[in-house]
């Protein structure tokens, strides 16, 4: 991925990792467009960062996604980087699920169907560019799940798999496909912003930006804090990591 000179769309760009990436990528010399459902969050981000553009996107609505892609093509015809970052995370008690499974379905729609639909809608535009990049945001929990949030972890594991297939199918094009797998970062996702165990957001963004400067960019963008989860199986420590992760969260430690 070229480090500067891009036109970049970041979903979920009004807060958390999305906002951090938007601010850092703009500072690196890119045109940045953020998208999300919460207009207030988008407006706050753009007000604090003159030059960042915003568009409202309902990532759960396939009709809205298609209309959004048409608007992006019209307003930002040079778009060459898509960062699928938008996501939701909710605790679920699988022993006491409601009949409608509303939380699980919303997580699947936002975290998995949303990126798949948006990627499909924007591929024709990305294919027109001299070079382009798709970055799908998964999670360290794609590799070792936190049982408190089973559907979230399942969608991130699916994003990891989808990204591998997408990369292979696009290998004959000028579109590179990367995966960003964050560790536990201090954001408002599941109240992580106040948890001292979470990696500070500014440190996470700084390390990611350093990796993005590497040429060629690694297919998996992994900060040091996530490698214990990412390579738990390969290292032969999966059971210990899984049990430690889930026991710590269950005990509130």
Preceding peptide of 216 cis, ω within 30°: yes
| Size of the chain in residues | 253
Phi, psi of 14 (to 5 degrees): -90, -5
According to DSSP, the residues that pair with 175 across neighbouring strands are 132
Q: Which residues pair with 199 in a beta bridge?
A: 185
- What is the C-alpha to C-alpha distance for residues 231 and 227, in angstroms, rounded to an integer? 6
Determine whether 238 is an active site residue: no
Task: Return the C-alpha torsion angle 48, 49, 53, 55, nearest 10.
Answer: -30
Active site residues: 152
């Amino acid at each position: 991925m070229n480090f500067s000179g891009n036109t970049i769309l970041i979903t979920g760009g009004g807060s958390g990792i999305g906002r951090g990436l938007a601010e850092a990528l703009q500072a690196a010399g890119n045109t940045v467009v953020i998208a999300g459902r919460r207009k207030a969050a988008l407006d706050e981000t753009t007000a604090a960062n003159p030059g960042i553009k915003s568009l409202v996107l309902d990532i759960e609505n396939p009709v809205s996604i298609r209309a959004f892609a048409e608007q992006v093509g019209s307003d930002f015809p040079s778009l060459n980087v898509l960062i699928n970052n938008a996501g939701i995370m909710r605790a679920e008690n699988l022993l006491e699920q409601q009949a409608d499974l509303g939380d699980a379905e919303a997580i699947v729609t936002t975290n998995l169907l949303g990126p798949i639909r948006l990627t499909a809608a924007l591929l024709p535009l990305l294919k027109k560019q001299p070079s382009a990049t798709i970055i799908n945001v998964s999670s360290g929990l794609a590799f070792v799940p936190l049982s408190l949030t089973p559907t979230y972890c399942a969608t991130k594991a699916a994003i990891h798999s989808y990204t591998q297939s997408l990369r292979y199918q696009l290998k004959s094009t000028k579109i590179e496909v990367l995966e960003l797998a964050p560790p536990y970062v201090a954001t408002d996702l599941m109240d992580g912003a106040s948890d001292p165990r979470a990696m500070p957001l500014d440190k996470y963004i700084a390390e990611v930006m350093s990796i993005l400067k590497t040429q060629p960019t690694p297919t998996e963008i992994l900060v040091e804090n996530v490698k214990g989860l990412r390579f738990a199986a390969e290292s032969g420590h999966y059971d210990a990591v899984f049990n430690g992760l889930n026991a710590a969260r269950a005990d509130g430690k």
